[in-house]
Amino acid sequence: MKKAWILALAGSLVACGQPAESPDGGNATAPATAEHETLQADVPESEPITSPYELAESAPNDRDFAALAGYPDTWHVSYGWPGEYPAGFVVLEQGVTVNGRARPNPDAPANVPCTLPQYANYQIWNRQRVERDNLEFIVASKIEPVTMLVDARIETPGDEGMQVLNLKAGDVLSYLRYLGEGFAIFDVDGQEYTINEAELRDISSMTGMALEEDQWVEVACIGGTRAWLLYDDAIAQDDIVPSPIVGFGEASDIYPDEVDKVRAEGLELEAFQNQPFDDGSVD
């Protein structure tokens, strides 16, 4: 279970995963295909996701992920992984198997062995992998109450431009999920709004609040089965590391000659993510 600290977003990004040049200055070999992985025709390049809001709004219309996941009512389930640079993970070696689940719920048995293709990068911006394997990304976030401490007028984007919420001291909002770039989705009186967290800084109870969330991806396993993998379970594997950060909206499977570099930088990023958060408060 990931724990994201609200109003204290990490600004440190690790830049890696750039395709290396060959010794003669030409292009590097294209990402290799794992043995036994079934390849389809090349997928044409598609426009990368350019806004964190699209992550939450691009869910297929024919799947009820909340019902499928079966989390309690105190959790919010929605499509897309959060963050202006969403997380992901890379498979570094051949034959890596993760125990997945038939549905995206931590209480479901992890009894679906899923062997993943070497060099695959499971990141929502890796459109070729997403489309080839029909990947689905969802996040389950524990709903947190946020109480207004003072009266305030809060701006929020709507279908017809910006609108203003007139909130009163004592009003309770429900924090549903983080989007990116400081924006999150809140429930106010049964209606969902996108609000910049900075608007609530120092005027509500949310400063320093910790958000519990589970990030799930449904993957295609070698051999034809499908499984739901929890991000934390995936990166706990020795030969799986967090995805390299190349650029905004940019991601792809890695190249064979990048394995050592991606492993080192991925382990560094994982160690950074696991550091305890210090908000500077004094006990």
pTM of the model: 0.78
Cα–Cα distance, 239 to 95 (Å, whole number): 10
Q: Which residues of 200-239 are buried (b: 16+ CB within 10 A; e: fewer)?
A: beebbebbebebebbbbbbbbbbeeebbbbbbebbbebee
Cα–Cα distance, 195 to 117 (Å, whole number): 39
Looking at domain 143-208, which of 3.30.160, 1.10.760, 2.40.50, 2.30.30 is its CATH number?
A: 2.30.30
pLDDT given for residue 36 in this prediction: 37
pLDDT given for residue 7 in this prediction: 41
Q: Band the pLDDT of 138: cuts 50, 70, 90.
A: very high
Q: Kind of pairing, strands 172-180 and 97-100?
A: unpaired
pLDDT tens per residue across span 197-244: 999 989 999 887 888 999 999 999 999 999 999 999 999 999 999 999
| Residue 178 structure tokens | 């983080």
Cα–Cα distance, 155 to 162 (Å, whole number): 6
> Chain-centre distance of CA 65, in angstroms?
15
Contact (Cβ atoms closer than 8 angstroms) between residue 104 and residue 218: yes
CATH 2.30.30: which residues of the chain? 143-208
Q: Poorest-confidence range of 32-41, 231-240, 266-275?
A: 32-41
